[in-house]
Amino acid sequence: MPYTLKVNGETRTVDVEPDTPLLWVLRDELGFKGVKFGCGVAACGACTVQMDGAATRTCVYPVEAAEDIEITTIEGLSDEGVFTDVQQAWIDEQVPQCGYCQSGMVMAVSALLDENPSPSDEDINDAITNVCRCGSYPRIKKAIKKVISERGAA
């Protein structure tokens, strides 16, 4: 079945079965390999992208429901060679270890901060449920707070 998707500002057409998870369409049909396959059951968040700005786990999201939605992957978050303030905070705080979860982490955090510029610790814990097997959580929190304070000062 052909589907028309809006990914990173471009319109793309793919021909796949309706139940194909958006994850595999983004990775294998459209080449956005920064979107990662982790658990396949929406538990880990490695596959998180933004759909109309909301953090969404794509490994269980059927492509047939993804039309007419603005999809942003990690590749579309910033121009090549440029880092958003969230990505820069990730570098400044040296957040990633193995890094496999971090595309999803950055997408989820970016969505949270766009929606709520000054989330409390509780808000962060509620919204960012992505799994990091290396345990980078303390640095993630530090980096989030850095962005909050920088945006507040701007």
Partner 1 sequence: MAEGKKKLTRRKFLLGTGAVVGGGLVLGYAALPNQMKDIAAKHKGEGQILSGWIKITPDNKVTVIVPHAEMGQGTHTALPMMAAEELDADWDLVSMEEAPGLPEFANQPLGEGFIVGDSLPDILAPLINKAFYSIAQAMDLQITGGSTSVRFTGQYGMRVAGAAAREMLLRAAAKEWGVARSDLTTEKSFVHHKASGRSASYGSLAQAASEFDPNPTPTLKPKAAHTIVGTRTIKRFDIPGKVNGTAKYGIDAEVDGMLYASIARVPVHGGTITSIDDAAALAMPGVKKVCNLGYAYAVVADKYWRAKKALDVVEIQFEAGGNELVDSDAIFARFNKDLGELELEYDIEEGDVEAAAGKLIEADYAVPYLAHACMEPMNATAWMRDGKLDVWTGTQAPLMARAAAATAAGIEPENVTIHNHMLGGGFGRRIHAENDYVAPGG
Give the Cβ contact number of residue 60 at 10 Å: 15
137 binds partner 1 per the rule CB under 8 A: no
Site for partner 1 in 6-65 (CB under 8 A): 16-17, 20-21, 24, 28, 31-38, 44, 46
Residue 58's contacts (CB-CB under 8 Å, 6 or more residues apart) are 21, 22, 23, 26, 35, 47, 48, 49
Give the whole-angstrom CA distance, residue 105 versus residue 140. Answer: 9
Q: What is the nearest approach in angstroms of partner 1 to the Cβ of residue 93?
A: 10
75 binds partner 1 per the rule CB under 8 A: yes
Give the Cβ contact number of residue 48 at 10 Å: 31
Kindly tell me which of 65 and 91 has the beta carbon lying closer to partner 1. Answer: 91
The angle formed by the CA atoms of residues 78, 82 and 86, to the nearest 5 degrees, is: 65
119 binds partner 1 per the rule CB under 8 A: no
Kindly list the residues in this chain that would bind partner 1 in the complex (CB under 8 A).
16-17, 20-21, 24, 28, 31-38, 44, 46, 73-75, 77-78, 83, 87, 90-91, 94-103, 106, 131-134
